[in-house]
Amino acid sequence: MKIEDDEDDEDDNPDQFSATKIGREMRATNVSAPVRSGRYCHRAVVWRSNATLRATIMPKNDPISEKWPWNGEFLRLFLILPSTIGVVATVATLPFTGIHACWFLTGIPVGALLYAIYNAVGRKVVALAHSVTPEEGECAQALVVHGKIQSPGIAVLGHGNLRLHMITGHRIEVGLKDIADIHEGRWLPGKYLWGKRAFSIKTQTGDRLAFAVPESIGAIWSSAIHDVR
């Protein structure tokens, strides 16, 4: 297993490529080509357009359960829900509590703070996706855990290896044949992930790491990883 620390680069919007069948391809080529799962993967071809960066963080028309807090749907909720609830609650309780009803409005800056934090995270995740070329493998947005470090980032399943890139700059590479044990579920250490598939890995050197990707991607990757092992 190889671990690196590197600086992440920011760029513009990545193009995306569509899903293809991989089962027979993986067995026929013995992972001689990168896995192609598609919906959450970004082709690292930089192009200029008038579309906003926010529109490319996660493809549309996918289940909300498979999206991350730094994706556009959740970012909008961080702004809309606290504002709506705060205003409605203030108006409803103002006749009874007077000026104290304004405390409900404190949720608005809290929502704005969450928006700012996760918006920055989303931009870094997209920048990481730009650094991956199609030849390197398939890229999916992920939550990565290694030791005491837990960070959003990307996972890349490629030519017989798995690479995990965190927005902190921490990078891990594991050969699929070097995996001694692997468990799948919906839990990362201390955290249940709705709509995600979590992989807990132990390498032949005894190192432990974990990551989670959207369930639809995790199901495909699970087959690919077990085929190689």
For 132-174, how does the pLDDT look when each residue is reduced to its tens digit (9 = 90+)? 998 999 999 999 999 889 999 999 999 889 999 999 999 999 9
The confidence score (pLDDT) of residue 60 equals: 52
Q: Say if CB 199 and CB 217 are below 8 A apart.
A: no
Q: Which range among 37-41, 72-76, 176-180 shows the weakest confidence by mean pLDDT?
A: 37-41
Question: Out of 25-34, 98-107, 115-124, which region has the weakest mean confidence (pLDDT)?
Answer: 25-34
Element (H, E) at 45: strand 43-46
- Strand ranges for 158-228 from DSSP E: 161-166, 170-175, 179-185, 187-188, 191-192, 196-203, 208-214
Residue among 109, 116, 118, 179 nearest 143 (CA) = 118
What's 1's DSSP letter? Answer: -
9 has pLDDT over 60? no
Check residue 64 and give its pLDDT.
87
* Domain boundaries, given as residue ranges, for the chain: 2-51+132-228
Q: What is residue 226's three-state secondary structure?
A: helix
Can you tell me the mean pLDDT for 42-60?
Answer: 36
180 pLDDT more than 80: yes
pLDDT over 90 for what percent of the chain? Answer: 63
* Cβ neighbours for 133, distance < 8 A, ≥ 6 positions apart: 44
How would residue 3 be classed by pLDDT, with cut points 50, 70 and 90? low
What's the pLDDT score for residue 115? 97
Q: Give the Cα separation of 33 and 26 in Å (integer).
A: 8
pLDDT in tens, 57-104: 344 567 888 999 999 999 999 999 999 999 999 999 999 999 999 999
> Domain 2-51+132-228 - what CATH class?
mainly beta
Report the C-alpha gap between 149 and 130 in whole angstroms: 23
